[in-house]
Structure 1
Amino acid sequence: MDRKIYVVLTQTGTFFSRAIKLYTRYNYNHTSIALDKELKQLYSFGRRKIYFPLHAGFVREQIDGGIFKLYKRTSCRVYELSVTEDEYNEVKEIIDRFESEHDRYKYNFLGILAIMLHIPYQRRYHFLCSQFVAYVLKEGKIINFDKDASLVKPEDFDGIEKGQVVYSGLLSQYAY
């Protein structure tokens, strides 16, 4: 185990995120994955335009830019996962495939309803943020959740095997 990847849970405080929090009663409602401790680049599914949440799909996020810059009080929890070189490379390759076809991927809005109804629901090229991170970790042979990836929610990352919390607090104050 000589490489690390990072799972980042956040709560921005946008109207959409507060509505989700009201329903789930969980502190975090967005999930991203990063390949470096500095979190220079996060990968996820979310809004592509800051002020228009319905235009959403595969996104690259920066902790000091985009929606996180607008919502400076964004809270987060960062998990560090120890992985082998091969696992790290596989995860990177999976993310690279998403990046190379980023316009093809859309946000799985119907998946939100499916999660609420506990119905596995997968659409080709459509993901929720937590579904995407679960998919990457499963395909990278790092973590196999005990449920369909389409049903994985941010709270399912609490206590993940191979992971340990390395930071919990304001994202704007994250210091690696």
Structure 2
Amino acid sequence: MTEQHYVYIMLSNTGTLFTNVIKTYTKAPYNHASLSFDPDLKEMYSFGRKKPANPLHGGFVKEDIFTGTYSRYPDTTCVIYRLKVTKRELSKMKRILDVFIKKDQKFLYNILGVLGVSLKEPIEFSNSYFCSQFVADILNRSGIQLWDTLPAMVTPDHFRRHDRLELIYEGKLFEYPALPELRSYEG
């Protein structure tokens, strides 16, 4: 039997001022996208706040549910999807991600790109991403093209509406059954 390989895409809504402003425009329930290689979300990556208390300092982040930004927002809601991938696609994603990890200080948050989505005009800069652009770009560069649009035009809602993604959970983040018991949230 062939081993199955998956990546996990989490869409979330922390309820912060920034996500509420975006939500006013998008009307979507989730406005942040993250990529993980494990179902318990131990290693999750995105573009967002570098420091949980400072929404203005953004870039590439390895997200930690229990110590990062999410820990400040215990009522965060989320939806988690599973995407079946080949071993080769998974390997490519991890190689691409290694570049982000090794050079994380070179990457900036693409706030103008978020504005570009609302204007229906892609705004791209070298080494600059917003969350869903990052996840779409990682997939795209690994050979997984889910849409006929540039990653700079992909929103979290694009993931929510794609039939190739399998819904595995929707609800409060800290009630997600696959979270490790050892690090249970004590909010």
TM-score normalized by structure 1?
0.96
Residues 6-39 of structure 1 deviation map (CA, whole Å, 9 limit, x = unaligned): 0100000111111111121110000000000110
Quick check: 1:138–1:145 contact (8 Å CA) kept in 2?
Answer: no
**Residue in 1 aligned with 2:69?**
67
Q: Does 1:121 align with 2:140?
A: no
**Residue in 1 aligned with 2:133?**
131
Percent identical among aligned pairs is: 38
Residues 30-71 of structure 1 deviation map (CA, whole Å, 9 limit, x = unaligned): 000000011001100001111211110000002222111110
Q: Does 1:167 align with 2:157?
A: no
Residues 117-174 of structure 1 deviation map (CA, whole Å, 9 limit, x = unaligned): 1001210000010000000011111233211110101100023243100000011111
**Residue in 2 aligned with 1:6?**
8
Q: Does 1:30 align with 2:32?
A: yes
Aligned with 1:76 (options 68, 78, 87) = 78
Tell me which amino acid in the other structure corresponds to 1:106.
L
Tell me which amino acid in the other structure corresponds to 1:93.
R
Q: Which has the larger Rg?
A: 2
Q: CA RMSD, aligned part only? A: 1.1
Identify unmatched segments of 5+ residues in structure 1: none
Aligned equivalents of 2:123, 2:18: Cα separation in 1: 21
Tell me which amino acid in the other structure corresponds to 2:93.
V
Aligned residues: 176
Identify unmatched segments of 5+ residues in structure 2: 179-187
Q: Which moved more, 1:124-133 or 1:156-165?
A: 156-165
Question: Equivalent residues in 2 for 1:43-122 (5 A)?
Answer: 43-122=45-124
